[in-house]
Structure 1
Amino acid sequence: MKTGKLNKQRLIISVIVILLVGGIVALSRFFETKVPEIVLSPEPAGFLPASEEFTISFREKGLGLKECLVFIEQDNKNHPIFYKRFSREDKIYNQRINLNVIPKKLGVHDGPAFFVVSARDYSFWHWGKGNFSERRYGVIIDTVLPTIEVLTRSHNIAKGGSGLVIYRALEPLLNHGVKASELFYPGYQWQGLYLCLFAYPYYAPKNIVYRLVGEDKAGNRGEIGFYYHLLPRKFRHDKINISDAFLQAKMPEFWNIYPNLRGKYLETFVKVNTELRKKNHQEIRRICSISQPTPLWQGAFIRPRGARRAGFVDQRTYYYKGKAISHSVHQGVDIASIAHAPVIAANHGIVVYRDYLGIYGNTIIIDHGLGLFSLYGHLSNFQVEKNQQVKKGDVIGYTGTTGLAGGDHLHFSILVQGEFVNPVEWWDAHWVKNNITQKMIQNGLLK
Structure 2
Amino acid sequence: MPEVVGGPPGAEAARRAASAVWRIESARIVGALARYTGDFALAEDVAQEALAEALVSWTRDGAPANPVGWLLATARRRAIDAFRRRSALDARYALLAGRLAEGEFSSGVQTGPGRVDDLPWDPDRVDDDVLALMFTACHPVLSPEARVALTLRVVGGLSTEEVARAFLVTTPTVQARITRAKKTIAAAGVPFELPPPEERRERLGAVLSVLYVIFTEGSTATAGDRLLRPDLAYEAVRLARTLAALLPAEPEVHGLLALFELTAARFPARTGSDGEPVLLEDQDRRRWDRSAIRRGLAGVGKAVGAGRGLGPYGLQAAIAACHATAPSVRETDWERVVLLYEALGRVAPSPVVELNRAVAVAMAGGPRQALDVVDELAVSGRLSGSYLLPSVRGELLTRLGRTSEARAELELAARLCGNARERSVLLRKAAALE
Structure with the higher helix share, 1 or 2: 2
Structure with the higher strand share, 1 or 2: 1
Larger radius of gyration: 1
Q: TM-score, normalised by structure 2?
A: 0.21
